[in-house]
A and B are shown apart, each in its own frame.
Chain A
Amino acid sequence: MKQTTTRQFEKICEILDRYERKPAKLIPILQAVQAEYRYLPKEALAYVATALGLSPSSVFGVATFYAHFALTPKGKYVVHVCDGTACHVKNSESLLAAIRKKLALKEGKNTTDDLLFTVETVSCLGACGLAPVMVVNEVVHGMMTPAKCDEVLDKILESEATQ
């Protein structure tokens, strides 16, 4: 853990240098910073604002405008449940409920306290033939049932435990 924060700081500096601290490059800069931290911590946003000479409120405004940017940390595993029409019709809601229950996520929370999982819905992953679909860190699991979701999560939990 201790190594990562130093590397992240080095990275922010490199990113800022790479974009020559140009305010016009705010969005690509934020993208790159997010790639480092997996989200945009407000301290990092403050650093970017200072370096670009922008007001922190406007940097915050941009960071919160785009759904792509996350202001809270995401889990190591990001679980996407598709809620596009096809999946919805095939009861994707029951998948979501099962996953949230399994991970003991309380109302209004999408990320587990140990920062292992983040659960989100997305609208149509373009895999309607496999509906209902769940995607874990880019790996697509099709024709899912609540029980199968449980299995996938169990496997991950197991492999994490043995690490």
Chain B
Amino acid sequence: MNTTPDTPKPATMIIDGRELPLEGERNVLEVARKAGIDIPTFCYHSELSVYGACRLCLVEIEGRGVQASCSIVPEPGMQVRTNTKQVRDIRRIALELLLANHDMNCPTCARSATCRLRELSERMGIDEVRYKPVHERQPKDKSSLSLVRDPNKCVLCGDCVRACRELQGVGAIDFAFRGAHSAVLPAFGQNLDTGECVNCGLCASVCPTGALTPRPEMDAVWADLDDPDKVVIAQLAPAVRVGLGEYFGMKPGSITTGQAVAALRAIGFDKVYDTSFTADMTVLEEGEEFLRRFSDGGPLPLFTSCCPAWVKYAEQFHHELLPNLSSCKSPQQMFGAVARKMLPEQMKLEGKELVIVSVMPCTAKKFEAKQDKFIHDGVPEVNHVITTTELGQMLRQCGLQLDTLEPESFDMPLGFKTGAGVLFGVSGGVTEAVLRYAVEKMRGTPLEQVDFKEVRGEAGLREAVITVNGVELRLAIVNGLANVKTVVESIQNGACPYHLVEVMACPGGCVAGAGQPHAPGPEVRRQRARAIYHNDKGLELHKAQENPELARCYREHFGEVGGHAAHDALHTEYQHRRRLHELNLEIIEGQEAEKIPVQVCVGTNCFLNGSQELLRKLTRYVENKNLEDRVHLSATFCMERCGQSPNVRVGDTHLERCTFDAARAALDERLAGIMATVQ
């Protein structure tokens, strides 16, 4: 015990006969777990609100009977038993009921190895299920580019619903229906790709079963590896090197860069490169962009753009911030662009097709790579994206054990990186890497002390101020999209103090991405983050601007940092994005063949800018003029021009910032046109 004689004896409670100190735990469950008593749970997640529905965490409390330990606040003197016959019996029934409605095709399930339901059934010694299923079989939802949803495996614990709402502030999925029909569904029971989902995969990370899993792309990768007419190269993201080891039973935080490179070569990749190379490149491009905006007065704050889940979130919910988003592509896409430009010549492809595969800790990267804007003349910058876990699986399929492989080095030149590029794997890392560039540039003298410890940490929203030449750089670091709200509010109030805001969707940053081996709790995250910092320390160089291969790459292919060629290849644009697909609220249906379609946008932005009133006036106008047969009036949910709201379409004319008068004039004109042709 680390209590010194001076401190008063802490309050205690008794669990299974052991006296345990109370140290601010939120519930009895946490006290027990601290003491190494692993009470089983399903619907409890330390970073989410308490739901208390699965009844697996039951304990018997002296004088209070059987209670759910996740929902009981510990009190001094409380006497708890976690393992009585009654508790065991109820747990068993609860588990059997869950299993009765669970599609038990475990051998073919993506979560087989880490499924909590399976683990608990084994722990509780369930050898038969005495209940009949009540759920009807539902089809799998494979619509999303990032995730697969298998409703037949859902145990309705709600972890995903709460993670999506509470940690990401998205709310793409929720409970629907009830009783035997209960389900967790996207809005209107539609597919996941049609809604607000930003592909972060957090729901899959917290799901205890195989109901939500990353969408695999391994088959496509194998097919290309087997094709003699293709040259297949890999890029390895920073966070993968500190996650992959866990898949092979190593302790969290093991750094396995060299083995991962060796493994990729062993399964047939022609070259293996480091995404940290283009992360270094991002530092230069984004650093320049930041300095330019800082001296030219904006738009500030500059938001980072390397997390595709955050980018989609901004595109859907905050079109007004898009000018603030860095125009830099993410390191993954930059890599694709750079490799397609440099490698064909260097590698002497001789007519073979170059296939680029990313290994990422992330599910949103799968979505990102398939965006139209990253496909040029039918050739994608990045062909396939596999997760850390998928790589682990591919190695295991070949019988490879990571720890028995001799470490190898990345191929050059796209395998050379500095510590700056590695830091991208952790929350705060992009900021620190950019500071190493921007501060040095502002000072005009070499930066001796490269660590900016003030931006490191774990909180979901962190702030830091760095003073350079008497000027303050004010920074915010966000992880978990729900925390963006505070920053956005400060911008809306005109009181935003920040110059640079880093946003990563995953709590903890990419090290804890949904593509990493399944990690219960913040401690694993901490170990991985530590390993990233450790990796930076161990490298020879720490500033992106000192990367000699990168300098050469600019010299030979892209010219100046932030220059024209760089801009063409390494930067991108953003779009306003609707949150609901294909919904039209019919208002006047029109009977004539030649009816004029009129659509008024009632998406959030247009709605807030008065489209409802406009629509009402238009409706009345049509009625008063007895035009009901000739006009087809409907309300539509977002025309993806939110910055110009309210939007109206009359026939094929699009009217931005539309007023009733403008809409009426356009309609009158169309009607007159039709009259003229009829006569």
Contacts and interface: CB of A to CB of B under 8 A. Distances in A.
Interface stretch (B168-176, B223-231, B320-328, B442-450): B168-176
Given A13-B616, A55-B196, A65-B178, A2 B172 contact: no
B172 A57 contact: yes
A34 to B, nearest CB: 15
Interface string A46-61: 1101110101111111
A64 B586 CA distance: 22
A160 interface: no
Contact of B585 (A9, A55, A67): A9
A45 interface: yes
Given A60-B185, A60-B187, A60-B189, A5 B589 contact: yes
A56 B619 CA distance: 25
Contacts of A67: 178
A42 B174 contact: no
Given A6-B619, A50-B603, A57-B185, A43 B174 contact: no
Interface string B625-637: 0001100000101
A123 to B, nearest CB: 14
Contact of A6 (B176, B185, B583, B623): B623
B619 A46 contact: no
Contacts of A44: 585
A3 B623 CA distance: 9
A107 interface: no
Contacts of A64: 176-178
B188 A9 contact: no
Contact of B619 (A9, A47, A53): A9
B252 interface: no
Interface string A1-42: 111011001100100000000000000000000000000011
Contact of A55 (B178, B187, B603): B187
A3 B629 CA distance: 11
Nearest to A56: B187
B588 interface: yes
Interface in B167-201: 170-178, 185-189, 195-196
Interface in A108-129: none
A50 B580 CA distance: 10
A51 B607 contact: yes
B583 A42 contact: yes
Bin the interface of chain B by size. 35 or more
A10 B616 contact: yes
**B interface majority secondary structure:** mixed
A47 B585 contact: yes
A13 B635 CA distance: 13
Given A10-B616, A50-B604, A55-B196, A60 B176 contact: yes
Contacts of B175: 61, 65
A47 B602 contact: yes
B588 A2 contact: yes
B290 to A, nearest CB: 33
Contacts of A50: 602-604, 607, 637
B170 A55 contact: yes
A6 B615 CA distance: 11
A42 B173 CA distance: 16
A10 B616 CA distance: 7
Contact of B188 (A10, A60, A65): A60
Nearest to A49: B187
Given A13-B616, A50-B607, A65-B178, A57 B173 contact: yes
Interface in B603-626: 603-604, 607, 612, 615-616, 619, 623
Interface in A53-80: 53, 55-61, 64-65, 67
Query: Which of A43, A49, A67 counts the most B-chain CB atoms under 10 A from its CB?
Result: A43
Interface residues of A, number: 29
A113 to B, nearest CB: 19
A2 B196 contact: no
A67 B178 CA distance: 9
A102 B82 CA distance: 59
B588 A6 contact: yes
B524 interface: no
B176 A46 contact: no
B401 interface: no
B313 to A, nearest CB: 13
B137 to A, nearest CB: 14
Interface in B622-664: 623, 628-629, 635, 637
Contact of B176 (A1, A10, A61): A61
B591 interface: yes
Query: Which of A3, A42, A46 counts the most B-chain CB atoms under 10 A from its CB?
Result: A46
A44 B189 CA distance: 15
Contact of B195 (A6, A41, A47, A57): A57
B29 to A, nearest CB: 27
Contacts of B195: 56-57
A162 B196 CA distance: 49
B587 interface: yes
Contacts of B585: 9, 41, 43-44, 46-47
Given A50-B637, A58-B171, A5 B185 contact: no
Contact of A2 (B170, B187, B589): B589
Contacts of B607: 50-51
B161 to A, nearest CB: 9
Contact of A10 (B170, B171, B604, B619): B619
Contacts of B174: 55, 57-58, 60-61
Contacts of B589: 1-2, 5
Contacts of B623: 6
Interface in B510-531: none
Given A6-B619, A50-B637, A55-B170, A65 B176 contact: yes
A110 to B, nearest CB: 14
B176 A43 contact: no
B584 interface: yes
A44 B635 CA distance: 10
Given A46-B580, A65-B175, A57 B187 contact: yes
A56 B580 contact: yes
A152 B584 CA distance: 38
Contact of B172 (A6, A41, A55): A55
Contacts of A56: 187-188, 195-196, 579-580
Contacts of B629: 2
B185 A47 contact: no
A46 B637 contact: yes
Contacts of B177: 64-65
A47 B635 contact: yes
Nearest to B604: A50
Interface of B: 165, 170-178, 185-189, 195-196, 579-580, 583-591, 602-604, 607, 612, 615-616, 619, 623, 628-629, 635, 637
27 contacts: A2-B628, A2-B629, A5-B586, A5-B589, A6-B619, A6-B628, A9-B585, A9-B616, A43-B583, A43-B584, A43-B586, A46-B187, A46-B580, A46-B583, A50-B603, A51-B607, A55-B174, A56-B579, A57-B176, A57-B185, A60-B176, A60-B185, A60-B187, A60-B189, A61-B175, A61-B176, A61-B185
Given A55-B174, A67-B178, 11 more contacts: A2-B628, A3-B628, A5-B587, A5-B588, A9-B585, A44-B585, A47-B585, A55-B172, A56-B195, A57-B172, A64-B178
In order of increasing CB-CB distance, the 5 nearest A-B pairs are A55-B171, A56-B187, A43-B585, A61-B174, A57-B174
